[in-house]
Amino acid sequence: MVSIGAVSRIRETSAHWGTYLVEVSADGRDVVAARAHADDPDAAPAIGNVADAHRHRSRVARPSVRRRWLEDGPRPDARRGDPAEEYVEVDWDTALDLLARELGRVRSEFGNSAIFGGSYGWGSAGRLHHAQSQLHRFLNTIGGCTRSVGDYSRGASTVLLPHLIGARGTLDLRYKPASWADLAEHTDLLVSFGGVRRSNTWVVPGGHARHVGSDLARAVGRRTEVVALTAQRDDAFADLGAEWVGVMPGTDTAVMLALVHVLVVDRLADEEFLSAFTVGADEVRRYVLGETDGVPKTPEWAERISRTPAAAIRALAHRMAAGRTMVNVVYSLQRGEGGEQAIFAGLTLAAFLGQIGLPGGGFAHGFGSMGDYGVGVAGAPLPTFPQGTNPVPDFIPCARISDLLLHPGEEIPYDGTTVRFPRTRLAYWAGGNPFHHHQDLRRLRRALSTLDTFVVHETHWTPTARHADVVLPVAGTLERDDVAAGAGDSRLRAVPRVVPPRGEAREELWIYTRLAERLGADFAEGLDSRQWLERIYERWRAAPASPPAPPFAEFWRDGGVELPRKSYDDAVFTAFRADPVANPLDTPSGRIELFSATLAGFGLADVAGHARWREPTQWWGAPAAAEFDLHLLCNQPTHRLHSQLDMGAASRSTKVAGREPVRLNPADAAARGLADGDVALVRSPQGSLLAGVVVTDALLPGVAQMHTGAWYDPSAPEVADCVNGNVNVLTRDVGTSTLTQATSGAHVLVAVTRYDGPVPPVRAYEPPPFSR
């Protein structure tokens, strides 16, 4: 901590977007400003949101209960989430008594499977105040809950890849991938499907002491040729010097299959590798040559689907075969209908090149998708808050929350089995925002209306909080002590409280402790949060795999402890390549399965045993395609993390006409009479929104682009479903496939027209109305 006169003090803190400095008022109660460390080579713009958000009027000040729920009792209610719904502020004892009584009712009348523990999100970078861990521990202490599995980021690939490369190989792709340094030293050509976004390297679960991903990537750009196949020219940050090859959204699989076709026809495939290290190459050959379905997967075939020139595809295949090549498929490609096929085809392409397991060659799934991907060091074990055991067996794939609530008792296929939806009476959400992560918000609102009770822990009156029956104000990251580190981090950091909690906000550990007491359970084992912090640290320090570390008091005094920076030395694919007999993959064959008999045996209509092209169902039907004629890409924002702190200065600086922008190619804008700064109405079969217009030649014609994460604002339904530009009013709530059941929200067909009516104000950041 550094003192600056009598005016303010500077303190260090951490978030998912990194470690940064906070200026605190002289009385120690307010955040004056936030800024990057001088020695952070690539600090995240999201730091600029912190000060505004801390003192924003949308902070939840006191426990609040929706008035209709308070007066009428727990029940389904279609008015849940209506902007006019009033809340009543109550004291903590009243709120906790009400909630304990409702939890007890649901448990006794319907069983614990009727409680959904919804804590998908990025609420805190801390190891103790991890919202999901704390909520799950609490629910587990009172008998458990229905839970979710998987995630929105890689929900399709984490189900698919274990069938193709085994569980250990899948883990290596996430935690021991080729590093940026490997690419800079060994790789002649990095071919990235989906681009390599600089802004994604700013974000790490748990944060990093300093940002290193972009700096490492720049080294690649100095030696390695980079080709980015994407619908956006600026999808790869400038330091890489990437060559842009345009691909229409959702068509990457077709391009990859055409590249395999060229390798086969022009005899460029590595037949020795395919024979020794894979199974199923013959099935793939027959498919790409058209022997199984009568459709050869030629570059010309792919051009008709993707608009990628056939000559460019053919030339790229020859370049890939001529030197050491890394095939990278970013996370976002699997977030679409049939999204797992892009991962399947990317792995297949890399296998036909024969470089998997070689330094700087093969297949990657994450360069440019996350800040810890490719840092090149094995992550040290980190302290964790124990969640206990959930005795309830019921679960859902995380992207199927609306299905769970709307279709109780129904079954869906998932990873070769079936999942049955229990009847849900109460959902308890902490540390996440389904109005950012989930799709088709009209449908999500209908789903939430079926609940008896919706409970939310929040720092601000987010769209999720505005749909809750009971809202409990929780302390934010700056308002509690914690420890933080991310995978591959250089330092486990002490993160002391910077300012006291706003209003009557409380730490979640305090909340759960008192709720559990009312329900006759023991959540905290008699410890407060400081004691728990010391416990998880000391247990971590004593674990055999942990690095040398001082006692907690010394660690806290010094502000942290260095973590080992050990390079990978036992990567699965390196050992597999050296001796596939002695080091087989944990697949049925022990090899890379380009054709999986297991997948084929599931008998799914939309997933075969090998990678294949399947046209998305949203393209079907001429009338719909004629009306919704632009492909909208929905990707992560640059100046905030997901939807966090959207009201902050950095996020506001990206707005156009006071709301989230939509980017359009000049030809598409001109055809619609749109110019920079105009307001557009963007529609899909699912809903509508208002957006500010940005015209750019960085997009292919026929493609529009918006960032996710604008706070949902339904305050003017006569104009649009959201007047602030939340793209999930447009996206489709359909699973990627019957195998993976993941989100398909990265791409949707839309219509964009000029909006010339009165532009309603944005009310997304206002608290709800209160009554006594």
Instruction: Give catalytic residue positions.
Output: 120, 122
HSE-CB at 181 with a 13 A cutoff on CA atoms is 7
Task: Identify the residue whose tokens are 């590595």.
Answer: 270
Measured in Å, how far apart are the chain's first and last C-alpha atoms? 43
Return the number of other C-beta atoms located less than 10 Å from residue 67's C-beta: 18
Helix (H) or strand (E) holding 277: helix 271-277
3-class DSSP state for residue 693? strand
Report the C-alpha gap between 728 and 153 in whole angstroms. 15
Exposure letters 156-167 (e unless 16+ CB within 10 A, then b): bbbbbbbbbbbe
Return d(Cα 333, Cα 600) in angstroms, integer.
Answer: 23
What are 70's strand-pairing partners?
Answer: none
Phi then psi for residue 726, to 5 deg, are: -80, 115
Question: DSSP characters for 645-684?
Answer: TTTSHHHHTT-BTTB-EEEE-HHHHHHTT--TT-EEEEE-
Contacts of 725 (CB under 8 A, 6+ apart): 659, 660, 661, 662, 689, 690, 691, 692, 706, 710
Phi, psi of 428 (to 5 degrees): -120, 115
Sheet of 453-458, strands arranged across: 87-89, 64-66, 470-473, 453-458, 426-430, 115-118
Return d(Cα 164, Cα 301) in angstroms, integer.
26
Tokens of 138: 């609490």
Alpha carbons 334 and 388: distance in angstroms, whole number: 32
Give, for 311, the enclosing helix (H) or strand (E): helix 310-322
Closest by alpha carbon to 515, among 115, 76, 81?
115
**715-752 residues labelled b (16+ CB within 10 A) or e (exposed):** bbeebbbbbbbbbbbbbbbbbbbbbbbbbbbbbbbbbb
Q: HEC string of 361-385?
A: CEEECCCCCCCCCCCCECCCCCCCC
d(CA 630, CA 628): 6
Count Cβ atoms below 10 Å from residue 387 Cβ, excluding itself: 17
Nearest alpha-carbon partner for 66 in 473, 471, 424: 471
